Structure 1
Amino acid sequence: MGLTADQIRASLDALAEVEPAFATALARIGYPAPRYRGPGYSTLLRTIVGQQVSVASAAAVYAKLEAVLSEAGLGSPDDPLAILAASDEQLRAAGLSRQKAGYARSLADEVASGRLDLTALPADDEEAIAQLVRVKGIGRWSAEIYLLFAEGRADIWPAGDLAVQIEVGRILGHETRPSEKLTREVAEAWRPHRGAAAIFAWHHYGADMTVL
């Protein structure tokens, strides 16, 4: 489970105490809603399926993948053994590119073999990220999003996210979008509440888009 509404509120209130710009933005647009993703293999598989496509397109591909595997008698894509048993042609028929099919197989193999135990990731955030990014197709951003939304780790900071960079710049009054490096640096003072800061940045981005 991700951060709860109460956890987000408490963290943002704490951030507003140390960063006046957050207090101003919070007063203007209010608190964000929680964002949840179920922990486990299927969430990471959906992350791979959704890379570089819209949310609607990703949902359509996943639904097609479910249909193809079911029709073939292989079961559900939520079972890594089903992905491993599927042929390249079946995965392509579901809409997965050759690259994404390879990524899906890599993830399925890591989980099915027990090399990646998603129920027992290290408590240390950086160690957990390191385990996740060993999977082909899972980069740092995907690992951070998983840990934030599926495990509710409170201090995850996806500084490589473009929307986070844009909104951190807007909230702090920068003239240009800060780099990933600068986005990480300015957030050091926000520990251990950076997960809520990221959620608020996405909320701020949505509010700005609404105004536009």
Structure 2
Amino acid sequence: MAMPGDPAALKAAVAELSDSDPVIARLAQNYGLPTLDRRSLPDFTIEYGKPVAVPLEDQLFSDLVEVVIRQQLAGKAAIAISGRVRAALMDNLTPQAVIDSDPDLLRASGLSSAKLSAIRGLAKAITTNTLSLVSLACASDDDVTAELSKLKGFGPWSAQMFLMFSLGRMDIWPSGDLGVRKGYSRSYGLETVPSAKELAVLGERFRPYRSLAAWYMWKSLVDLPI
């Protein structure tokens, strides 16, 4: 199976999808190769916009915070809130920094009470060693979803975004995501937007590269959700 960090293998995966689906072929021609990030295991550090390495646990935490912020929010609004949250934490978005911060300061950044509770709950789970995101990076898709779903404020969509854009998993199909549903309807010329249940069935033919197909559905609507 193609890995996101391997351009040649990713190109082969897109070619395989394109050979079996002319719509994907057209989208691939228009938008190029999908961009799904895979973290640099096993040294547990990555580069995050700076010349210094960020511990993988902190980076994965930051990724999940971004996912929470983006829940049911348009891209521009989410980006603005994310910037204010990072500024409030002096660009130190780590579990311990969230635990040590003034909740009112984060709430003033634009976080709803529910999202603030979810982020602080995630930070507490990590700082008390109840949850290890680095360990999740090596777990199966189902196990990642099950573990994250134990946390308040995290459901299937949050787990799917984490799996796709933080762990680079190739066969995730977020059929409940409105953007994927609308993108599918637009790309395939449907008169109506398929339901989550309908899209789950429609996506089966994209295995084992459903993440790539989902990326193209989002891209067909111009902006990605993450």
Over aligned residue pairs, what C-alpha RMSD do you find?
A: 2.6
Identify the residue that residue 181 of structure 1 maps to in structure 2: 197
Identify the residue that residue 51 of structure 1 maps to in structure 2: 71
Identify the residue that residue 24 of structure 2 maps to in structure 1: 22
Task: Pick one of 89, 99, 102 that aligns with 2:104.
Answer: 89
SS at match of 1:177: coil
Asked whether the equivalents of residues 32 and 199 of structure 1 are also in contact (C-alpha less than 8 Å), the reply is no
1:61 aligns with 2:103: no
1:106 aligns with 2:121: yes
Q: Which has the higher contact order (CA 8 A, sep 6+)?
A: 1
Call closer, same or farther: CA 1:23–1:93 in 2, change over 3 Å: closer
TM-score of the superposed pair, with normalisation by structure 1? 0.81
Identify the residue that residue 9 of structure 1 maps to in structure 2: 11
- Equivalent residues in 2 for 1:118-197 (5 A)? 118-121=133-136, 123-197=139-213
Q: Could you tell me how far 1:106 is from its partner in structure 2?
A: 0.8
1:71-108 CA deviation, whole Å, 9 max, x = no partner?
Answer: xxxx82x2212212223323223332222221111111
Q: Could you tell me how far 1:157 is from its partner in structure 2?
A: 0.9
Asked whether the equivalents of residues 8 and 196 of structure 1 are also in contact (C-alpha less than 8 Å), the reply is no
Asked whether the equivalents of residues 174 and 180 of structure 2 are also in contact (C-alpha less than 8 Å), the reply is yes
Further displaced range: 4-13 or 149-158 = 4-13
Call closer, same or farther: CA 1:169–1:117 in 2, change over 3 Å: same
Call closer, same or farther: CA 1:195–1:69 in 2, change over 3 Å: closer
The number of residues matched between the two structures is 200
Q: Note the residue ranges of structure 1 that are not aligned, 5 or more in a row.
A: 208-212
Asked whether the equivalents of residues 34 and 212 of structure 2 are also in contact (C-alpha less than 8 Å), the reply is no
Higher helix proportion (structure 1 or 2)? 1
Q: In 1, distance between residues paired with 2:151 and 2:185? A: 32
Q: Could you tell me how far 1:30 is from its partner in structure 2?
A: 4.4
Q: Note the residue ranges of structure 2 that are not aligned, 5 or more in a row.
A: 40-58
Asked whether the equivalents of residues 32 and 203 of structure 1 are also in contact (C-alpha less than 8 Å), the reply is no
Further displaced range: 52-61 or 155-164 = 52-61
Asked whether the equivalents of residues 67 and 161 of structure 2 are also in contact (C-alpha less than 8 Å), the reply is no
The one-letter code sitting in structure 2 at the alignment partner of 1:34 is T
Identify the residue that residue 206 of structure 1 maps to in structure 2: 222
Identify the residue that residue 34 of structure 1 maps to in structure 2: 35
